[in-house]
Structure 1
Amino acid sequence: MLQEYRRLEGSRIAAPDSALAIAMADDCTRFSLRIAEEGIAQAGKAFGVALPKQIGGMTAAGGRLALCLGPDEWQLMAPLDERDALEAAFAALYAKVPHSLVDISHREVGIVVEGRDAALALRSACPLDLDEMAVGSATRTIFDKAQIVLIRQGQDSFRIEVWQSFADHVWGILQAAGREIALEI
């Protein structure tokens, strides 16, 4: 039996002046998709959102999100209640377009970091130049020692996708960064 671990569910960190808000994201269905270039369009139809072709690209519609993380790798995210329908759509696609679709929903959790100090909080442990990261893009990177997928949802809005086993560690660093920002250290 698979046991879920969501100790941080419902947790929030907020700076007194609302310059920074950090919260656990609503849970969702997550898939890792590996597919050859010639199957991208058909996979997008099965997912209900065209898959981005450029590494770092992101497309979204109807609560679904597709992230291109590599030349043949996507992370697909959708509302929890759509998992079975998506699995069925990709199972039907497999006869025509071989691919690998793996449900990674229980492996990861999302953390939303928002506010004018969001990038500052992330810089505490992320080596990326966040000023160069375009809104509507995603990348695999590290946060301290944890591998994450970082999504830039808006100018001052980011989402971290991290393995559950590293979630406490990432949360603790964000909490410390939030305290330092609040104290103007």
Structure 2
Amino acid sequence: MTTQRHEFDPTPFLVEELPPRPRFSLRVRPGNRAALAAALSLELPTTVGHRASGPGPEVLCLGPDEWTVLVDEAAPLVAASRDAYVQIPHSLVEISDREITLRISGAQALTALTTGCPRDIEAMPVGQGARTLYDSATVTLWRDDRQDFRMDVWCSFLPHVRAILDQVLVELRSGL
């Protein structure tokens, strides 16, 4: 009989598919950003990677003129965009059917993500996000807490990304 104890976490991280939510890609010239933000009743962060969230829309700045916007209801945003377009040219494209959002959380969520991502995810502050790669798939990462992330994955890449995450889970459970 041995006195050694072999303890391991059977679930180093969890992957769950989140319910669909209306999602838009918004583009506007930097000089029109403030006027469009007011017209759409959105906060549009000016720094890439920063996000605005709270009650209502959630907005992530992906570039100097590009944002991902998540809302609870699409119709009010679409109507406001239509009303503002003549005065403030912009592009608002619904991309809800293009992507699936995965929540990746748990003690080794960061490890699971760094296995396939060239970006220094550990350096990403809580409350920020970024467009990056996971293996060969373009994804958007949202860091909600220290070990709690959301990953927006194009539907066509979802089986590939899930297979990699499943393999990472097997390896972490086995102690590799």
Please report the TM-score for the alignment, with normalisation by the length of structure 2.
Answer: 0.90
Q: Is residue 100 from structure 1 mapped to residue 91 from structure 2 by the alignment?
A: yes
Query: Aligned letter for 1:176?
Result: Q
Contact persistence 1:49–1:60 (CA under 8 A): no
Please report the RMSD computed on the Cα atoms of aligned residues, expressed in angstroms.
Answer: 1.6
CA distance in 1 between partners of 2:173 and 2:105 (Å):
14
Equivalent residue, structure 1, for 2:65: 72
Equivalent residue, structure 2, for 1:29: 22
| 2:105 maps to which of 108, 114, 120 | 114
Equivalent residue, structure 2, for 1:85: 76
Query: Aligned letter for 2:25?
Result: S
Contact persistence 1:58–1:67 (CA under 8 A): yes
Contact persistence 1:142–1:148 (CA under 8 A): yes
1:49 Cα deviation from its structure 2 partner: 3.3
The alignment-based identity, stated in percent, is 36
CA distance in 2 between partners of 1:145 and 1:111 (Å):
17
Q: Deviations over 1:65-112 (max 9, x none)?
A: 101111101111112xx1111100111111221101111111111011
Runs of at least 5 residues in structure 1 that lack an aligned partner in the other structure: 1-14
Structure 1 stretches of 4+ with a deviation exceeding 3 A read 15-19, 45-49
Pairs within 5 Å for 1:1-185: 17-79=10-72, 82-185=73-176
CA distance in 2 between partners of 1:46 and 1:28 (Å):
22
CA distance in 1 between partners of 2:58 and 2:29 (Å):
19
CA distance in 1 between partners of 2:80 and 2:35 (Å):
11
1:41 Cα deviation from its structure 2 partner: 2.3
Task: Mark the CA change 1:47 to 1:25 in structure 2 (over 3 Å): closer, same or farther.
Answer: farther
1:16 Cα deviation from its structure 2 partner: 5.3
Task: Mark the CA change 1:183 to 1:78 in structure 2 (over 3 Å): closer, same or farther.
Answer: same
1:43 Cα deviation from its structure 2 partner: 2.9
Bigger-Rg structure (1/2):
2
1:42 Cα deviation from its structure 2 partner: 3.1
CA distance in 1 between partners of 2:54 and 2:84 (Å):
21
1:17 Cα deviation from its structure 2 partner: 4.5
CA distance in 2 between partners of 1:133 and 1:151 (Å):
9
Report the number of matched residues: 169
Query: Aligned letter for 2:146?
Result: Q
Please report the TM-score for the alignment, with normalisation by the length of structure 1.
Answer: 0.85
